[in-house]
Structure 1
Amino acid sequence: MSQADGVLRRRPLWSLGLLRSEIGMTFRRWRTLALLAVLAGVPVLVGIAVKIETGDGGSAGGGGGEGGPAFLSQITNNGLFLVFTSLAMTLPFFLPMSIGVIAGDSIAGEATAGTLRYLLVAPAGRTRLLLVKYATTMTFCLVGTLVVALSALLTGAVLFPLGDVTLLSGTSVSFGEGLLRALAIACVVALSLIGVAAVGLFISTLTTSGIAAMATTVGLLITVQILDTIPQLDAIQPYLFPHYWLSFADLLRDPVYWDQLQKNLGLQALYAVVFGSAAWARFTTRDITA
């Protein structure tokens, strides 16, 4: 066995230094900062719109229902509900679109820039590089979700009163417990995007064009969302990754309904395993020099 082969065999599968470098590079890009700015701006626009609409004493969004409409009608009573409303409004499009851009560009963008071969010549390794790219995308999932939640919390605190939280089941909890539930919801929303991240990563391994990978990922996301709204396709909808996204609303019940939440996280894990494995199979056999 040659010395080079020995170095390759001793090379660890994970590198914290490589992960730090990748995360730093990703969050220094203007595109990433612009995506985070858009995500932060959504709660501000929603809060201002609700404030203007209710300035004459009216109510926002009507009442009843679950998800966005139910949260929207509660914002004027408690600014914390702006967090739940903003997450419900950004989850169907803004958050997954942002994840699609980051994931789609992860491998294909390096190929477009001509840096992919350099990364693989350096002691990175294909499997380790793929894991780092996916971990970076998941970091963006969490950061993007927290940006929405924090922006909504600050906007809600400025424009509306804060206090005890009335859950969807009618139970009233303290503001502190409401904050904890808001944090739990943000974490669930971030985990709800791991399927999109895996799909985007797989698509990114199929092409050398970052723009094509991003466009394909976002286009697929829109297509799947449309399929999830067609009643005639109800047989396949439980297997589509966005189907259980709004199940996070069940964390605002007492007791919490775990059934839909478990189905959502299980489905996301399945997508992560299937498309993550497909991305690994494609990337480890891909001719980088082509």
Structure 2
Amino acid sequence: MTAGADGTDGADGTSPATAHATRAHAAKAHATTAHADRAHPTEPHPVRLAWTLGLFRSELSLTFRRWRTLALLAVLAAVPVLVGIAVKIETSDGGSVGGGGPDGGGGPAFIAQVTNNGLFLVFTALAATLPFFLPMAIGVVAGDAIAGEASAGTLRYLLVAPAGRTRLLLAKYAAALTFCLVATLVVAASALAVGALLFPLGEVTTISGTRISFSDGLLRALLIALVVAASLIGVAALGLFVSTMTSSGIAAMATTVGLLITVQIVDQIPQLHAIHPYLFSHYWLSFADLMRDPVYWDDLVKNLGLQALYAGVFGSAAWARFGAKDIAS
């Protein structure tokens, strides 16, 4: 499903042919700019920086104007609504809802505390979307980054531009990371709004049993959202690498999502416990440690370090592959 390449998804909701023509026109405009750049090979650093930022803004616009991206964000925003309504219905007769986590019943972590404080819906929604919905959305966006351009026939025009392959790849990755942050904040904001509408708000009881003010709870919710977004940088790098391996956007997206599912299945097999700490999804739910008093940092640091490692390995692999790739479209 590339912009204008799958027959249904133009970059701005227009027809596939129009979307393709618009993207091609923009790419050719970059090529025209490249002509001027070659005429002045010693452009000052501010000019090169401005051109790079312009490329990044172009990638952001392309990403967030697609109907596919908007649909993914809408689905992510709907998850907290469904969870909040389900909890409200289940507890409307004075009953309780099963709690998640190691000491609770089934369901996402923190779900048992939602009825007492709507802020816990933020933590519950992030715990519910992180194993599948969030990484799937990131995999779709990152997997289509390079392969989508190749499939649409605009990649060769972009590579004529003065940014070159390295800057184009960095711009694509930066746009994917921005989507990681936006997608996570959409889930958190939707959950906070629904939690405030359906449940009371007030002081927050931490996992350790201590109580903190609502403002401190909001701050921890923001930190948790940032940690969740950072937990997805390895997935974005993996998707970008896969995207450089093929000229089919659909194949790249499907492969990335398939790898995500496979890794999470492996992470649930007890017999493979020796490799679990090296899987990028293993420490995803460590964000719950931010709700301890004091905060337990060990698994949080391991998670962020593991994501940085995956980003470095697959980012380097994507750069090496893209730099040597023969661009035919």
TM-score range, shorter chain: over 0.9
1:31 maps to which residue? 68
Structure 2 distance, partners of 1:139, 1:55, is: 39
Match of 2:148? 109
Alignment equivalent of 1:202, drawn from 241, 257, 266: 241
How far 1:245 sits from its partner (Å)? 0.2
The alpha-carbon distance between structure 1 residues 66 and 197, as it changes in their structure 2 partners (threshold 3 A), is farther
Q: Alpha carbons of 1:234 and 1:123: their partners in 2 closer, same or farther (altered >3 Å)?
A: same
Separation (CA, whole Å) in 1 of partners of 2:42 and 2:98: 59
Aligned to 1:48: 85
**Distance change (3 Å), C-alpha of 1:105 and 1:66:** farther
Q: Which amino acid aligns with 1:24?
A: S
In the TM superposition, what is the alpha-carbon distance from 1:289 to its structure 2 partner? 2.0
Structure 2 residues without counterparts, runs of 5 or longer: 1-36
Q: 2-side partners of 1:189 and 1:64: how far apart? A: 17
Partner of 1:269: 308
Out of 38, 43, 59, the residue aligned to residue 4 of structure 1 is: 38
After TM superposition, the structure 1 = structure 2 runs for residues 133-212 of structure 1, keeping only pairs within 5 Å, are 133-212=172-251
CA distance in 1: counterparts of 2:259 and 2:70, whole angstroms: 24
| Cα distance change, pair 245–113 in 1 and its aligned pair in 2 (3 A) | same
The amino acid that maps onto 2:251 is A
**Residue equivalent to 1:65:** 102
Deviation of 1:62 after TM superposition, in Å, equals 3.8
Which of 76, 96, 101 aligns to 2:115? It is 76
Q: 1:32-69: per-residue Cα shift (whole Å, max 9, x none)? A: 00000000000000000000000100111247636964
- CA 1:204 to 1:70, structure 2 compared with 1: closer, same or farther past 3 Å? closer
What RMSD, in angstroms, separates the aligned Cα atoms of the two structures?
1.8
Asked whether the equivalents of residues 61 and 69 of structure 1 are also in contact (C-alpha less than 8 Å), the reply is: no
| Greater displacement, 5-14 / 69-78 | 5-14
**Out of 53, 59, 75, which is 1:16 matched to?**
53
Report how far residue 121 of structure 1 moved: 1.4
TM-score by length of 1: 0.95
1:93 is aligned to 132
How many pairs are equivalent? 288
Q: In the alignment, what sits opposite 2:23?
A: none
Cα gap change, 1:209 to 1:180, in 2 (>3 Å)? same
Q: Map residues 115-130 of structure 1 onto 2, 5 A cutoff.
A: 115-130=154-169
Correspondent of 1:243 among 272, 279, 282: 282
Q: Kindly provide the CA deviation profile for residues 108-156 of structure 1, in whole angstroms up to 9, marking residues without a partner as x.
A: 0000001101111122210000000000000000000000000000000
Runs of 4+ in 1 over 3 A off after TM superposition: 3-6, 8-14, 66-70
- How many percent identity over aligned positions? 77
1:288 partner SS: coil
Amino acid paired to 1:217: T
Q: Relative to structure 2, which stretch is displaced further, 65-74 or 164-173?
A: 65-74
Counterpart residue identity of residue 194, structure 1? I
8 Å CA contact 1:104–1:201 kept in 2: the answer is yes
Deviation digits for residues 197-231 of structure 1 (CA, Å, limit 9, x no counterpart) = 00000000000000000000000000000000000
* Other structure's SS at 1:180 match: helix
Displacement of 1:5:
8.5
Q: What letter matches 1:138 in structure 2?
A: L
- Using the alignment, how far apart are the partners of 1:125 and 1:66 within structure 2? 53
